[in-house]
């Protein structure tokens, strides 16, 4: 039984890279009918914020992917501490009484890596206990095997065989002097306790994995499988940060720009993963069945945004693809909600609404377009743009609109075909090109010079609105 977890730490908004990590975990778990666990890694009390936690929920809720179990590390501190002290008593860890360095900046790297404080590693158990009892602050470090050194190895599901000498691993901290576990300790202790079978996370943890394996081996002898994901980076090659790259790195930016969750998920999946059959647009079901770690790439992927356009063009394309192909019954409620967010109520029956959405969706690329570009289809107070005005300013056009209104009033069928027949007949009678009437009526009905087939707009809006709009020009 597969058990995987997504373990964000609430120190910022939900990052686009974190979202992808969550999605890959989710796809893997759902494909194998395993258990998806959401675990909040909140052991860094100084940096955790409630706002950040809310932002994570906000993003995950929008994605609309479920999880089966939920934990917060801050509620499991005893478990973490127990492991640290267990290792201490077994001689696999030791107290380090070296005072914390202020900023951590000034460590000289020129002479090679820092591995441990030799004098601290050498302290006897008795002295260690005595100084601890005397109230001297300390950090508990893992005692990495040094004599002899050995090779730590594992096979990553994405990156393949990995190995490192213990001589290159520093004595990492387990428990801070304030009694809080470090990430490494809390993460491994919980992975063991929660019986995690697969750790799927960002590649920035690839080299940390050796430490974790050391911990797993010391603590339980059991260890999960690992799958590391390539990182998402900015066009300038730097890692995505809010400070440097702005709101594009936040999941909610896409939501607020009118993205469909499935389109965003689809886009993220294509960053660093490929089904290898040229498929691009996929439903959640397809993504789930197609997903595998073999398809995951090993190099970092660039999210292609610019200052002028914060949205990756591929994401935009995917969004418009999903918009125009997803079942209309599925899309309609989403559009309705979006319109309501813009304070527009939708009159008419559900069937009429779906009809309108279906007519215009093919030329829209985001949900926002329905409320903005599509306003005339849902409200009577719409703006008429200049090019549309020009179409109505064609000599005779306005008067023809009034005549057309009379014809429409008499058109019993009021279907796309009958409207077209009437309109072409009128054009012929008056000796004008049909285009004049077509363009003018689109302008009158929607305030825009561009849009769907003019004939289709008539039945879509309904006779009442059509007559009113034709007559008021």
Partner RNA sequence: GGCGCUAUCGUCUAACGGUUAGGACAGAGCCCUCUCAAGGCUUAAAUAGGGGUUCGAUUCCCCUUAGCGCUACCA
In the region spanning residues 287 to 316, those forming contacts with RNA, defined by CB under 7 A, are: 295, 297-302, 304, 312-314, 316
The token pair at 415 is: 């279907």
258 part of the interface to RNA, by CB under 7 A: no
- As a whole number of angstroms, the distance between CA 236 and CA 229 comes to 20
Q: Kindly state the smallest distance separating residue 343's Cβ from RNA, in Å.
A: 26
User: Binding marks (x or -) toward RNA, 324..363, rule CB under 7 A?
Assistant: x-------------------------------------xx
In the region spanning residues 139 to 178, those forming contacts with RNA, defined by CB under 7 A, are: 139, 159-160, 162, 164, 168, 170, 172-173, 176-178
The token pair at 110 is: 């020129």
Cβ-count burial 119-152 (b if 16+ within 10 Å, e if not) = ebeebeeeebeeeeeeeeebbbbbbbbeeeeeeb
Q: Among 76, 80, 184, 212, which residue interacts with RNA (rule: CB under 7 A)?
A: 184
Q: What are phi and psi of 265, to 5 degrees?
A: -60, -45
Q: Among 34, 246, 434, 462, which residue interacts with RNA (rule: CB under 7 A)?
A: 434
With contacts defined by CB under 7 A, name the span among 127-135, 246-254, 258-266, 452-460 that binds RNA.
Answer: 452-460
Q: Kindly state the smallest distance separating residue 181's Cβ from RNA, in Å.
A: 7
From the CB of residue 229, how many other CB atoms can be counted at a distance below 10 Å?
28
> Could you tell me if 159 and 206 are in contact, meaning their C-beta atoms sit under 8 angstroms apart?
yes
Q: Among 51, 149, 153, 238, which residue interacts with RNA (rule: CB under 7 A)?
A: 238
Name which of 119 and 350 has its Cβ closer to RNA: 119
Name which of 170 and 350 has its Cβ closer to RNA: 170
Three-state SS for 36? strand
- As a whole number of angstroms, the distance between CA 301 and CA 303 comes to 7
Q: Kindly state the smallest distance separating residue 257's Cβ from RNA, in Å.
A: 15
> HSE (CB half, 13 Å, CA atoms) of 461?
28
- As a whole number of angstroms, the distance between CA 133 and CA 407 comes to 97
Q: Among 16, 144, 454, 466, which residue interacts with RNA (rule: CB under 7 A)?
A: 454
The token pair at 373 is: 């570009």
Catalytic (active-site) positions: 242
Name which of 48 and 289 has its Cβ closer to RNA: 48
User: Binding marks (x or -) toward RNA, 79..118, rule CB under 7 A?
Assistant: -------------------xxxx--x--x-xxxxxx----
Residues sharing a CB contact under 8 Å with residue 389, sequence separation 6 or more, in sequence order: 443
Name which of 35 and 365 has its Cβ closer to RNA: 365
- As a whole number of angstroms, the distance between CA 138 and CA 7 comes to 27
Q: Among 120, 194, 231, 328, which residue interacts with RNA (rule: CB under 7 A)?
A: 231
- As a whole number of angstroms, the distance between CA 7 and CA 28 comes to 15
Q: Kindly state the smallest distance separating residue 236's Cβ from RNA, in Å.
A: 8
Sheet architecture: strand order including 173-175: 93-96, 139-142, 173-175
Number of residues that bind RNA (CB under 7 A): 90
Q: Kindly state the smallest distance separating residue 213's Cβ from RNA, in Å.
A: 13
């Amino acid at each position: 039984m597969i058990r995987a977890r997504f373990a964000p730490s609430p120190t910022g908004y939900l990052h686009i890279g974190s979202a992808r990590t969550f999605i890959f975990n989710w796809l893997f778990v759902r494909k194998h009918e395993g258990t998806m666990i959401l675990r909040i890694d909140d052991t860094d009390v100084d940096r955790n914020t409630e706002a950040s936690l809310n932002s994570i929920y906000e993003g995950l809720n929008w994605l609309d992917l479920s999880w089966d179990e939920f934990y917060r590390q801050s509620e499991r501190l005893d478990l973490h501490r127990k492991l640290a002290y267990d290792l201490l008593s077994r001689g696999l860890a030791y107290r380090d009484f070296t005072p914390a360095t202020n900023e951590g900046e000034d460590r000289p790297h020129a002479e090679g890596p820092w591995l441990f404080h030799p004098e601290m590693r050498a302290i006897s158990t008795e002295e260690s206990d005595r100084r601890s009892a005397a109230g001297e602050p300390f950090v508990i470090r893992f005692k990495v095997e040094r004599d002899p050194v050995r090779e730590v190895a594992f096979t990553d599901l994405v990156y393949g065989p990995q190995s490192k000498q213990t001589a290159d691993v520093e004595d990492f901290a387990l428990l801070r002097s304030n009694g809080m576990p470090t990430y490494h300790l809390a993460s491994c202790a919980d992975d063991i306790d929660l019986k995690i079978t697969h750790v799927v996370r960002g590649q920035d943890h690839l080299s940390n994995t050796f430490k974790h394996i050391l911990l797993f081996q010391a603590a339980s002898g059991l260890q999960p499988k690992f799958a590391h994901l390539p990182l998402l980076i900015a066009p300038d090659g730097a890692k995505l940060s809010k400070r440097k790259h702005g709101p594009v790195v936040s999941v909610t930016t896409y939501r607020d720009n009118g993205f469909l969750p499935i389109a965003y998920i689809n886009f993220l999946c294509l960053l660093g993963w490929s089904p290898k059959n040229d498929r691009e647009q996929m439903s959640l079901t397809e993504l789930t069945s197609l997903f595998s770690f073999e398809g995951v790439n090993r190099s970092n992927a660039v999210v292609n945004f610019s200052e002028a356009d914060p949205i990756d063009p591929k994401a935009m394309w995917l969004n418009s693809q999903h918009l125009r192909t997803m079942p209309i019954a599925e899309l309609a409620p989403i559009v309705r909600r979006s319109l309501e967010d813009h304070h527009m109520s939708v009159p008419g029956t559900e069937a009429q609404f779906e009809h309108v959405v279906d007519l215009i969706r093919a030329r829209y690329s985001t949900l926002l377009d329905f409320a903005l570009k599509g306003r005339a289809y849902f409200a009577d107070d719409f703006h008429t743009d200049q090019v549309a005005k020009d179409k109505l300013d064609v000599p005779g056009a306005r008067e023809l609109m009034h005549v057309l209104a009379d014809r429409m009033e008499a058109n019993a069928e009021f279907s796309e075909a009958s409207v077209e027949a009437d309109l072409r007949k009128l054009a012929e009678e008056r000796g004008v090109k049909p285009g004049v009437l077509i363009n003018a009526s689109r302008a009158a009905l929607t305030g825009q010079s561009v849009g769907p087939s003019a004939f289709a707009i008539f039945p879509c809006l309904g006779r009442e609105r059509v007559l009113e709009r034709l007559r008021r020009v």
